[in-house]
Chains A and B, each alone.
Chain A
């Protein structure tokens, strides 16, 4: 690991993440909801058009970013929606880094799960279906803005998370 990588990753862990956790708490729910819904519905557009999200009807999935102490409740009603806290069917839990690793397809989700870096509790079938759907999203066909975001994250990835590429 080079010095630069080490210091960047240290900054990310010592300052970046706590700051992120703070900022994130300051953003009002309504705004957060709007942004996340916008991104999700664009990213999953093809899957939605194929009618492949119907099985989510009436179900609630929670993404629990344990290090940020943040849970995002997601449901489906003709579009993906961010819901207020409440009951849920399945919870997928892990550190932010693990979710970024997954979004960039740097590691196989089963591997992260076996290594205990990701936990799934509740309705396993639903959790698995969500995993499969995420896998079926073609990154090359994502809208420009999202692709751009991913590619910036990809460039930074080795610096911020040298451990991600274990």
Chain B
């Protein structure tokens, strides 16, 4: 299985290369990708450098252009495609059908991967994307249970990629507009959930509070671990109880089901986190490389090493990992 790793900067790119990535995905410095933060992502010079490094080590480079073009910015999305093709990206990760049409008409040879933001969860939808846009691969949303992924693998006309590790973002993934309820912005429209300009951290003697556009998301007591201030992971008062009513701050980790995923025929595993640092990329990719190599060597006798878990838990949101929806028997 191909290990697909994130890079939000050149040093992160190098970290992924050194730690054993098979493919690395990047974005440009604008709202054409779903990690649009100041100071993050690649300008043309950096992208070219990344490509040269990738070619030297036989690693693939993918460019994420995975947000939905807004009426005022269509030319920006076209330009991003033009730049990525000119660069020589091995694939473009796209969610929007209009943009896919643009690629197919102008660059019929260019590989397209369907982004997770496209939220394709059944065989009919995958078939549609294959027929209309000739996508080569689809990234499955983190909402499916193992059984469902297995059924999809049997029927899918294209290669499938699943998330292996990263912050859990689960609300009808790819279609979540929860954050726009308080900020007017959401991942698909503006490239960010909980935009930093709306985030405020308040430190006091014994607690830390997070606010999103002034709405209190959570309050952490002394020494309690904090998490990303997304609306879905806040603590809310429901009746008389205050708790994580929607989702716990935790990270998804599917290390333990590597053999299952391989058996099903999953072709690639994606690590989330272009917004994270080179140190994170290095630590997570290294663990996954070791795990995939161990699986290759030991096959079905593969077992998860406690050190791997410890490493991953440390950099996880909420300092814990779970199998997320993969483990939900009721789906």
Contact = CB atoms under 8 A, between A and B. Distances in A.
B248 to A, nearest CB: 14
Contacts of B147: none
B251 to A, nearest CB: 11
Interface centre among A52, A110, A125 (most CB of B within 10 A): A110
A124 B227 CA distance: 14
Interface in A118-164: 119-121, 124-125, 127-133, 135-140
A166 B311 CA distance: 10
B201 A121 contact: yes
Contact of A114 (B38, B226, B279, B282): B226
Given A50-B43, A108-B276, A119-B203, A132 B38 contact: yes
B276 A110 contact: yes
Contacts of A131: 39, 277
B8 A132 contact: yes
Nearest to B227: A114
A68 to B, nearest CB: 19
B9 A111 contact: no
B279 A108 contact: yes
A6 to B, nearest CB: 22
Interface residues of A, number: 33
Interface in A9-23: none
A124 B197 contact: yes
A37 B317 CA distance: 35
A116 interface: yes
B208 interface: yes
A11 B176 CA distance: 52
A135 B9 contact: yes
Contact of A129 (B39, B43, B45, B278): B39
A25 interface: no
Interface centre among A50, A119, A136, A139 (most CB of B within 10 A): A136
Given A108-B277, A116-B225, A125-B199, A137 B11 contact: yes
B202 A135 contact: no
B314 A111 contact: yes
B283 A108 contact: yes
Interface string B192-215: 000111011111000010000000
A115 B197 CA distance: 22
A107 B226 CA distance: 16
B131 to A, nearest CB: 40
Per DSSP, chain B at the interface is mixed
Given A107-B279, A109-B277, A116-B223, A129 B38 contact: yes
A73 to B, nearest CB: 19
B280 interface: yes
Interface string B33-73: 00001111001010000000000000000000000000000
A130 B39 contact: yes
Nearest to A55: B38
Interface string B92-130: 000000000000000000000000000000000000000
Contacts of B278: 105, 135
Given A107-B279, A108-B283, A114 B317 contact: yes
B227 A52 contact: no
Interface in B1-38: 8-12, 14, 37-38
Given A116-B208, A121-B203, A128 B196 contact: yes
22 contacts: A52-B39, A55-B39, A105-B279, A108-B276, A110-B277, A114-B227, A116-B225, A120-B201, A124-B197, A124-B200, A125-B195, A125-B196, A125-B197, A128-B37, A128-B38, A131-B277, A132-B37, A132-B40, A135-B12, A135-B39, A135-B277, A136-B39
Given A111-B315, A129-B196, 19 more contacts: A105-B282, A106-B279, A108-B276, A110-B276, A110-B280, A114-B227, A115-B319, A116-B208, A119-B203, A119-B208, A124-B201, A125-B196, A127-B196, A128-B37, A131-B39, A135-B8, A136-B39, A136-B40, A138-B14
